[in-house]
């Protein structure tokens, strides 16, 4: 391996990984972050209202609240961090931008940018300028309108959406974009759960989960695959603890042992404070990266063979006959799979496969949960189809305590899609918009996230507007993505805080400061409230209460309405001026257009909101092309490890939420004060001729469309021995996003395959 001169970076301290999540340490960390960002009084005022019926929805994950009474502290450690980041007293003012050029800011780490505080004023970077300068709202809208009107086609504009956007803002945003004339509405779903939606629409007809919190609490068996709830959805752990108390068995399927799936100490219980906590996983299936499809196909074969020995004991033949299609083809494919292939693809032994199959066969109520560990593979859609197959063969859709549970990672990302944020809208939805607003919406499908980057890169799109999020750091192939953004004539960021996307601007750039979930939204003396949808299709209100960071900060609704008037003109059929002062008026339009949202204003004001319909769950009706639940059949795929190489997955640290970095520790994995680490199996460290603590560059290898081997490089990572499967490695994003080629995507869903990147390690210096 080639060497370079030693770098001056101090070694990152590494401790033993933790084997328990939450407990008193989580409370102390949450308080430390909150006090540092908000101070004591604001901390007490704010945390008391997180996820409460009369409070605001956590801006973090999309895990639902339990129905009925809420606990006093209805938040987790990372939820408290998310709230503290938004409710911070730190401010990014025009004086800050005067003191820092764009070039200066572009050289700062992502963590530094996020710690500067809330944006307070609209800012404009004119072509040729070195610094952002303040601009009036009307001036900012005029700049954006001028660029949009100058396009030769509406399809030359891209309108991105983050999951943080409320239902009301999302509905208006898609209405504005389609009124403008394009379906270019990529969103963060394209990069996370698009594979789930694609697979579930094919199999059961609706791309959402089919279970509730109550179902999880009363399941017999819960399989958690490719998900780390201890960091990414910590409130899920308290529900899993209740399920365990009710007798549930839990199977964890993951390449890494995660503390939250080993043991959980609920800090709101005596056992969680003084006791040992609750053991979570009864079985840890340490699957190799990309081996989940083979695992579930192997389970399917064992279940079929068990039913052969005792007909009717395993298969739900009544469900299969009455409600499914394609069972015979699926069964033939499952029976044909070789157990040697399953072992090679998964890395597990036959004894464990049999134990897991026995648990699945004996359960009367089975739920499978998953997250991005499954969705970000080239064969992700087929993998989720295989999971659904196993549930369908046992009749585990449309019965209490059973079903599919894709756990969304961002609050209201599911609501955005319900409200029409999608580049491939169904014709019925567009027809409803046309009738309601007397407009003519476009029918041509738009760009998803990956296609949007390609379009900006190639000059087919020259205006980029982001409603929240951090596009530059959330997307793959960082150098390509940043060059694509800089290639635009205009970039617009509607944001609460500074992030990397603000410092990779187009030739002209605009920053529009927006209210957050925690902020009070008062228009003409009337307090406005918004609504959101969680992972389990519950729609409820969110009521911010804090004083906004400044008088120039506007709600997303007000920003969209102001932009619509500037772009579409006063004669546009939609009465934009009536929405900004009255969000009930928006909800009336949602009720008239969006399926399942009738009587929206009344129902959303119920104490726990209302649940959207889900025909497979509610009545075992499947809105698919066949009218039944479809068993899927796809060629078995996994991720072989080339000689001398590793397969890398990107992941979050425990001090992180998506691209927002709360701190530089990952205490559950034993990392302190740094992020440029790569977790490698000790046997791989030895076989590759490196040493724990060495500094290495990560170099991804892939074959381009021209058949030529190409590379991407991320420099200077410390090697950390870790119990990963042999041949697999892990490292944090966004630092590793440069390694993920833009064209390395899941079939059908086009989701970046960030959980399976072939890399080699090149020594940088010995630690």
Residues with Cβ < 8 Å from 437, sequence gap 6 or more? 175, 179, 573, 574, 589
Give the pLDDT confidence score for residue 6 in this predicted structure: 38
Q: Which of 534, 77, 16, 22 has the alpha carbon at shortest distance from 261?
A: 22
Q: What pLDDT, on the 0 to 100 scale, is given for residue 103?
A: 97
Residue 2 has pLDDT above 80, yes or no: no
> Taking 60 as the threshold, does the pLDDT of residue 7 lie above it?
no
Report helix, strand or coil for 727: coil
Residue 322 neighbours by CB under 8 Å, 6+ apart: none
3 pLDDT above the threshold of 50: no
Of 301, 490, 498, 288, the C-alpha closest to 390 is 301
Tell me if 373 sits within 8 A of 730, measured CB to CB: no
Q: 657 - beta bridge partners?
A: 660
Q: Which residues of 278-305 are buried (b: 16+ CB within 10 A; e: fewer)?
A: bebbeebbbbbbbbbbbbbbbbbbbbbe
Structural contact between residues 397 and 616, judged by C-beta atoms closer than 8 angstroms: yes
Q: For residue 509, what pLDDT is reported? A: 98
Q: What is the pLDDT of residue 337?
A: 98
pLDDT tens digits, 541-587: 999 999 999 999 999 999 999 999 999 999 999 999 999 999 999 99
Residue 687: CB atoms within 10 Å: 12
pLDDT interval class at 765 (50, 70, 90): low
User: Above 70 in pLDDT, residue 257?
Assistant: yes
**In the structure, what pLDDT confidence band is assigned to residue 75 with cuts at 50, 70 and 90?**
confident
Taking only the tens place, the pLDDT of each residue in 595-638 is 999 999 999 999 999 999 999 999 999 999 999 999 999 999 99
Kindly state the average pLDDT of the residues 704-727: 93
pLDDT of residue 369: 98
**Residue 4: pLDDT band by 50, 70, 90 thresholds?**
very low
274 pLDDT tier (thresholds 50, 70, 90): confident
Write the pLDDT tens digit of every residue in 131-175: 999 999 999 999 999 999 999 999 999 999 998 899 999 999 999
- The per-residue pLDDT for 70 is 67
d(CA 754, CA 455): 21
Contact between 334 and 290 under an 8 Å Cβ cutoff? The reply is no
Whether the pLDDT of residue 481 is over 90: the answer is: yes
Distances in whole angstroms, Cα of residue 520 to Cα of each of 17, 43, 288, 608: 41, 16, 47, 21
pLDDT for the residue numbered 69? 62
Looking at residue 87, what DSSP letter applies?
A: S
- The pLDDT mean for the chain works out to 95
Q: Which of 17-26, 598-607, 727-736 has the lowest mean pLDDT?
A: 17-26
The pLDDT of residue 621: 98
Flag the least confident range among 27-31, 453-457, 649-653, 661-665. 27-31
How much is the average pLDDT of 237-243? 95
Residue 440 has pLDDT above 50, yes or no: yes
Please give the residue that has the higher pLDDT: either 68 or 362. 362
Q: Give the range among 139-143, 193-197, 268-272, 469-473 with minimum mean pLDDT.
A: 268-272
243 and 369 in contact (C-beta within 8 Å)?
A: no
Q: Per the structure block, which two tokens stand in for 56?
A: 């605001």
For the chain, percent of residues with pLDDT exceeding 90: 86
Residue with tokens 């006090």: 35
As to burial, measured by CB atoms within 10 angstroms (0-12 exposed, 13-18 middle, 19+ buried), residue 64 is buried
Mention every residue, 6+ apart, whose C-beta is less than 8 A from residue 335.
301, 304, 305
More confident residue, 7 or 421: 421
By CB neighbour count within 10 A (0-12 exposed, 13-18 middle, 19+ buried), where does 560 fall?
A: buried
Q: What is the pLDDT of residue 211?
A: 97
Per-residue pLDDT tens over the stretch 169-205: 999 999 999 999 999 999 999 999 999 999 999 999 9
Residue 759's pLDDT is 98
The share of the chain scoring above pLDDT 70, in percent, equals: 98
**How many CB atoms are closer than 10 A to CB 11?**
11
Q: Is the pLDDT reported for residue 295 higher than 50?
A: yes
Query: What's the mean pLDDT in 285-298?
Result: 98
The token pair that represents 271 in the structure block: 């056992």
Query: What is the Cβ-side half-sphere exposure of residue 195, based on CA atoms within 13 angstroms?
Result: 30
Q: Is 118 helix (H, G, I), strand (E, B) or coil?
A: strand
pTM above 0.75, yes or no: yes
């Amino acid at each position: 391996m080639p060497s370079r001169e030693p770098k001056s970076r101090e070694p990152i301290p590494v401790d033993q990984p933790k084997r328990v999540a939450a407990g008193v340490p989580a409370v102390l960390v949450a308080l430390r972050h909150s006090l540092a960002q908000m101070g004591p009084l604001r901390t007490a005022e704010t945390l008391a209202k997180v996820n409460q019926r009369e409070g605001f929805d956590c801006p973090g994950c999309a895990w639902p609240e339990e129905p009925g009474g809420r606990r006093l502290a209805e938040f987790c450690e990372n939820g408290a961090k998310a709230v503290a980041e938004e409710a911070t007293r730190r401010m990014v003012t025009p004086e800050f931008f005067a003191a820092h050029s764009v070039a200066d800011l572009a050289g700062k780490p992502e963590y530094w940018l996020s710690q500067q505080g809330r944006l307070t004023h609209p800012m404009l970077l004119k072509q040729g300028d070195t610094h952002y300068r303040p601009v009036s709202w009307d001036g900012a809208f005029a700049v954006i309108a001028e660029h949009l009107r100058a396009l030769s086609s509406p399809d030359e504009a891209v309108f991105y959406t983050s999951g943080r956007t409320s239902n009301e803002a999302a509905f208006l945003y898609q209405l504005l974009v389609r009124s403008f004339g394009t379906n270019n509405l990529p969103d963060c779903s394209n990069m996370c759960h698009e594979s789930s939606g694609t697979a579930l629409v094919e199999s059961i007809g609706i791309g959402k989960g089919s279970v509730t919190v109550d179902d999880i609490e009363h399941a017999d068996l819960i399989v958690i695959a490719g998900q780390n709830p201890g960091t990414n959805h910590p409130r899920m752990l308290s529900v899993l603890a209740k399920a365990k108390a009710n007798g549930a068995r839990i199977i964890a399927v993951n390449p890494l042992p995660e503390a939250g799936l080993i043991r959980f100490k609920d800090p709101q219980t005596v056992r969680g404070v003084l006791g040992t906590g609750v053991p979570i996983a009864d079985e840890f299936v340490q699957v190799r990266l990309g081996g989940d499809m083979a695992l579930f196909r192997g389970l399917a074969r064992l279940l079929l063979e068990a039913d052969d020995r005792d007909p009717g004991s395993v298969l739900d033949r009544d469900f299969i006959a009455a409600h499914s299609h394609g069972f015979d083809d699926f069964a033939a494919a499952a029976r044909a799979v070789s157990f040697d292939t399953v072992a090679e693809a998964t890395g597990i032994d036959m004894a464990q496969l049999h134990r897991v199959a026995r648990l699945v066969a004996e359960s009367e109520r089975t739920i499978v949960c998953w997250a991005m560990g499954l969705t970000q593979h080239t064969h992700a859609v087929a993998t989720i189809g295989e999971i659904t197959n196993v549930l369908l063969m046992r009749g585990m859709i449309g019965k209490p305590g059973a079903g599919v549970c894709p756990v969304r990672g961002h609050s209201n990302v599911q609501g955005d899609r319900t409200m029409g944020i999608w580049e491939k809208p169904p014709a019925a939805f567009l027809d409803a918009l046309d009738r309601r607003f007397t407009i003519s919406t476009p029918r041509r499908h738009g760009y998803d996230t990956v296609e949007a980057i390609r379009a900006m890169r190639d000059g087919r799109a020259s205006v980029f507007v982001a409603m929240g999020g951090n596009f530059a750091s959330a997307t793959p192939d960082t150098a390509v993505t940043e060059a694509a953004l800089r290639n635009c004539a205009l970039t617009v960021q509607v944001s609460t805080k500074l992030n990397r996307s603000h410092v990779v601007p187009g030739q002209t750039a605009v920053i529009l400061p927006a209210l957050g979930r925690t902020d009070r939204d008062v228009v003409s003396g009337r307090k406005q409230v918004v609504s959101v949808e969680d992972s389990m299709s519950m729609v409820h209100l969110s009521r911010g209460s804090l004083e906004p960071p400044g008088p120039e900060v506007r709600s997303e609704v007000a920003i969209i309405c102001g932009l619509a008037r500037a772009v579409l003109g006063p004669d546009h059929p939609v009465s934009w001026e009536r929405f900004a002062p009255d969000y009930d008026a928006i909800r009336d339009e949602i009720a008239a257009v969006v399926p399942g949202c009738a009587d929206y204003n009344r129902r959303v004001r119920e104490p726990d909101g209302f649940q959207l319909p889900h025909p497979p769950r509610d009545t075992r009706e499947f809105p698919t092309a066949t009218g039944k639940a479809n068993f899927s059949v796809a060629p078995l795929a996994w991720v072989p490890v080339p000689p001398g190489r590793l397969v890398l997955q990107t992941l979050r640290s425990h001090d992180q939420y998506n691209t927002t970095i709360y701190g530089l520790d990952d205490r559950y994995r034993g990392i302190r004060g740094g992020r440029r680490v790569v977790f490698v199996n000790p046997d791989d460290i030895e076989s590759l001729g490196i040493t724990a603590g060495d500094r290495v560059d990560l170099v991804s290898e892939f074959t381009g469309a021209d058949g030529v081997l190409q590379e991407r490089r991320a420099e200077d990572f410390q090697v950390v021995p870790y119990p990963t499967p042999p041949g697999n490695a892990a490292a944090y994003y966004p630092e590793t996003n440069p390694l993920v080629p833009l064209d390395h995507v899941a079939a059908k869903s086009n989701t970046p395959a960030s959980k399976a990147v072939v890399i080699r390690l090149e020594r940088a210096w010995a630690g």
